[in-house]
Amino acid sequence: MIKPEIPKNETFRLQALKELNILDSKAEQEFDDLASLASYICETPVSLITFLEEKRQWFKSHIGTDLCETDRDISFCGHAINHPQELMIVEDATKDERFADNPLTSLKDTPVIFYAGMPLTDKMGNALGTLCIIDHQPKTLTETQKSKLKTVANQVVKLLELRLRNNKLKTIEKELRAKNELLKNFAGVVSHDMKMPLTNMIVTVDILKEKYSAQLDEKGKQYLKYLKQSSFTLSDYITKILTHYESDKFDDLEESETFDIHHLLEEIVDLFNIREDCEINFPEQNIELHCNRVALEQILLNLIGNSLKYNDKEKIVIDVECYLHQDVYNFTVSDNGMGIPEHKQKEIFELFSTVAEIDRNGNKGNGIGLSTVKKLINKMGGDIKVTSTLGEKTSFSFSIKKNTVKKTA
């Protein structure tokens, strides 16, 4: 027996094999199908897709045998990979000095007598393993069988290239997720750290106004008013950023509470302390909901809040609808407000995208609320869409799945 030589590019070959992340992976139908096809074409009982490590050859696919690996020193494939572009054929191993006394050739019931192996060679010329076929008796292949065996081997190589690309994409995705998490944590920390100085600014403005009011002219008082308004605007902006990023941490959106829609809406309306002439119409049927209450409250707070803020009518009218259909809750929040231009309707759910320059109270929006709403709805197994007529009305329709998992204490 002659041991196979080590390829000159062994270091690079092993590195390329490692990058595939295929060794000791589970069986995959795509590889088994190609191995079976090779066996069928060449009329052999055994076919293998092998990969050669430093000291062993491992079988990704093994048709016709229960073996999963063997030592590299006795492998036929170890010889085959030394000629990366050639099909290696051994018609009778008992008459070949390289394999005559090889333990595989001497097996009692399933000796390796006939062998044909086509190296699986990547674009850099690294023969990572082989597609090989085996028979327990001497055999020859026709030219057509040889050609088709090479063709099947090429398909295995394409599978490997696809796997490598997928591995790289997964690595990139993992890195991007990690960087995104760092950015979110940074935004959260910065936002939290800014809340206290802003609160101090607002309190300081009130102190200055109260203590030095007699010494300030109207312009000075106006400046203090601008400073306080700006502080409140920035505080609101930071709060919404925190809400947006905190929505990523909702891990229990599939857990549910039982509550009715009218009671939830009553609590939400009370939070707004509405002073304008406003009519908010609840759903006709007070249905019982089974879903994550906190998340739904956040969604409706944003949508109803927008209906109140972005409304230029003397009387604000908001209609809320809700019904259950095939274990899916369908909601609609409609208003008679400013409306949304058609060219803006596709982008309003993007972070920091705004529609109107200013709201009913003269404040500029920050484009965070609807992005948070969409994220929560998607996490609850639903989607949201908008229809609007500029200057007349806007309707947000969304759906969420009915949950059956009860909230744990």
DSSP string, 172-237: HHHHHHHHHHHHHHHHHHHHHHHHHHHHHHHHHHHHHHHHSGGG--HHHHHHHHHHHHHHHHHHHH
User: Residues in the chain with pLDDT < 50?
Assistant: 408-409
Confidence (pLDDT) at 409: 45
CB 272 within 8 A of CB 305: yes
**Cβ pair 296, 400 in contact under 8 A:** yes
Chain centre to alpha carbon of residue 83: 41
**Region of residue 25 (phi > 0: left; psi between -120 and 50: alpha; otherwise: beta):** beta
User: 84 near 124, Cβ under 8 Å?
Assistant: no
Residues 6+ apart with CB under 8 A from 201: 227, 231
User: What is the structure's pLDDT at 203?
Assistant: 85
Name residue 399's beta-bridge partners. 330
- 18-37 burial, b if ≥16 CB within 10 A, otherwise e? eebebeeeeeeeebbebbeb
Which residues sit opposite 321 in a β-bridge? 332
Q: Could you tell me which of 358, 394, 400, 355 has the C-alpha nearest to residue 377? A: 400
- Parallel/antiparallel/unpaired status of strands 255-260 and 405-406: parallel
Query: What's the pTM value of the predicted model, to 2 decimals?
Result: 0.53
| CA–CA distance, 87 with 383 (Å, rounded to integer) | 55
Q: What is the pLDDT of residues 86-95, one digit of tens each?
A: 999 999 999 9
The burial class, CB within 10 Å (0-12 / 13-18 / 19+), for 105 is buried
> What integer pLDDT is reported at residue 240 of this predicted model?
62
User: 51: closest CA among 138, 155, 131?
Assistant: 131
Residue 63 vs residues 48, 79, 145, 315, 393: alpha-carbon distances, Å: 6, 21, 18, 76, 66
Query: What CATH class is the domain 10-171?
Result: alpha beta
Alpha-carbon separation of residue 17 from 9, 21, 152, 165, 380 (angstroms): 12, 7, 20, 13, 41
Nearest to 129 by CA among 20, 17, 24: 17
Residue 267, classed as helix, strand or coil, is helix
Query: For 255-277, b where at least 16 C-beta lie within 10 A, e where not — what string?
Result: bbeebebeebbeebbeeeeeeee
Could you tell me which residues are beta bridge partners of residue 328? 325, 401
Could you please state the CATH topology (level 3) that the domain comprising 250-406 is classified under. Heat Shock Protein 90 (3.30.565)
Domains of the chain, residue spans: 10-171, 175-228, 250-406
Q: Do domains 10-171 and 250-406 have the same CATH topology?
A: no
